[in-house]
Amino acid sequence: MANVMLRFDMRLPEFATSSQADLYETAIEMCAWGDQHAIGSVHLSEHHGADDGYCPSPMVLASAIAARTRNMRIFLSALIAPLHDPVRLAEDLTVLDNISRGRVIPILSGGYREEEFQAVGKNLGVRKQYMDDIGGFLKQAWSTQTFAFEGRTITITPKPFTQPRPMILMGGSSKPAARRAAREADFFIPSGPEIFEYYREELKALGKPDPGPMPSAPATVTFVAEEPDAYWQQIARHVQHETNMYAQWAEKAQVFSPYRHFDNCDDLRASGAYKVYRPDELIAAAREMASAQPIMFHPLCGGIHPDLAWQSLKLFMDKVMPTLREEGIG
């Protein structure tokens, strides 16, 4: 069966014609629908203070999705860990682990936007120590033992549903992040294959199992339409907003990003970062994909109206998924 994933970040630029409440309701409904149709995972992101309403509380959204689904894995991708008090982070993730029966998987990141740290009275300088410590802290928090932390006695309740503990994933783009993940995390989600190879070498040096090559990542955001040109005209401004905002943030922070700035939507479409397929085109493309490569839908990308977003998802399920299942693609 095809490896299909959903993604939501809840951006709603000023030109969008929906409302924030509509987007959240739709995202939850799409996950419930996707769960019924064997879509394997959803990925939720976190950023704060964005003019376009980017989701600042993915754990809250994850809780709503977990209550409406039974099988879908829910990735917090990524959770900006240093913005969270570690005790509350452990508690919130423990409750989520119980609500979802082990389906919520946090990917912890150090973050990169200075203004997000300033908003909670911190600066970027706290990231290294926090990220060095948080893996060990969560492992202690999710054990059965009461433990000391910063001169306090801490007991995290309830116990996690996942035994012996929930997974801890870490993301990053640097060698220090890869080394940290090798020491403290169960897996590493890097920015690219080179840093993942460094992570593999670090694991070997620590005597830990080699996870093998970096898992395939989606190369494009997928939409499906009977008339791709017409559909592109309706979503172009929305996807341009997304990629340009990410590129702007990365440039300001001087960090790597897979997102680029595009002055016009024609160049953006030609880049292949966002692609509208006809059903037969997506079937053909899926046949050429690596077996583990996911098909990623970001249906509400840049505040796309829910009605338009549903068109793409339902067309995929009606005219693409049956063939993928029949042929065992994915």
Q: Where are the domains of the chain?
A: 4-167+216-327
User: Is the Cβ–Cβ distance between 23 and 57 less than 8 Å?
Assistant: no
Banded pLDDT at 211 (limits 50, 70, 90): very high
CA distances from 83 to 118, 124, 133, 148, 250 (A): 10, 10, 14, 21, 18
* pLDDT for 37 beyond 80: yes
**What would the pLDDT profile of 195-206 be if each residue is shown by its tens digit?**
999 999 999 999
Buried b (16+ CB within 10 A) or exposed e, 260-282: eebeebeebbeeebbbbbbbeeb
Q: For 166-175, what is the mean pLDDT?
A: 92
Burial of 245 (0-12, 13-18, 19+ CB in 10 A): buried
**What is the pTM assigned to this prediction?**
0.95
Give kind and range of the element (H or E) at residue 183.
Answer: helix 175-184
The whole-chain average pLDDT of the chain stands at 94
β-sheet bridge partners, residue 4? 295
Residue 141 corresponds to which tokens in the numbers above? 């928090």
**Closest by CA position to 182, among listed 164, 195, 166, 163:** 195
Whole-number pLDDT of residue 291: 65
At residue 31, what is the residue type?
Answer: C
Whole-number pLDDT of residue 67: 98
**What would the pLDDT profile of 88-125 be if each residue is shown by its tens digit?**
999 999 999 999 999 999 999 999 999 999 999 999 99
DSSP strand pairing (152-154 vs 169-172):
unpaired
* pLDDT for 219 beyond 80: no
* pLDDT for 144 beyond 80: no
**Closest by CA position to 295, among listed 311, 279, 310, 307:** 279
- Classify domain 4-167+216-327 by CATH architecture: Alpha-Beta Barrel (3.20)
**Closest by CA position to 305, among listed 16, 95, 78, 60:** 16
Q: At what angle do helices 86-100 and 127-141 cross, to 10 degrees?
A: 50
Whole-number pLDDT of residue 330: 61
Q: For 136-163, what is the mean pLDDT?
A: 92
**What would the pLDDT profile of 229-273 be if each residue is shown by its tens digit?**
999 999 999 999 999 999 999 999 998 888 999 999 999 999 999
Give the count of beta carbons closer than 10 Å to the beta carbon of residue 18: 18
Q: Angle at Cα 99 formed by Cα 159 and Cα 33, nearest 5°?
A: 155
**Closest by CA position to 300, among listed 68, 49, 52:** 52
Phi, psi angle pair for 108, to nearest 5°: -85, 130
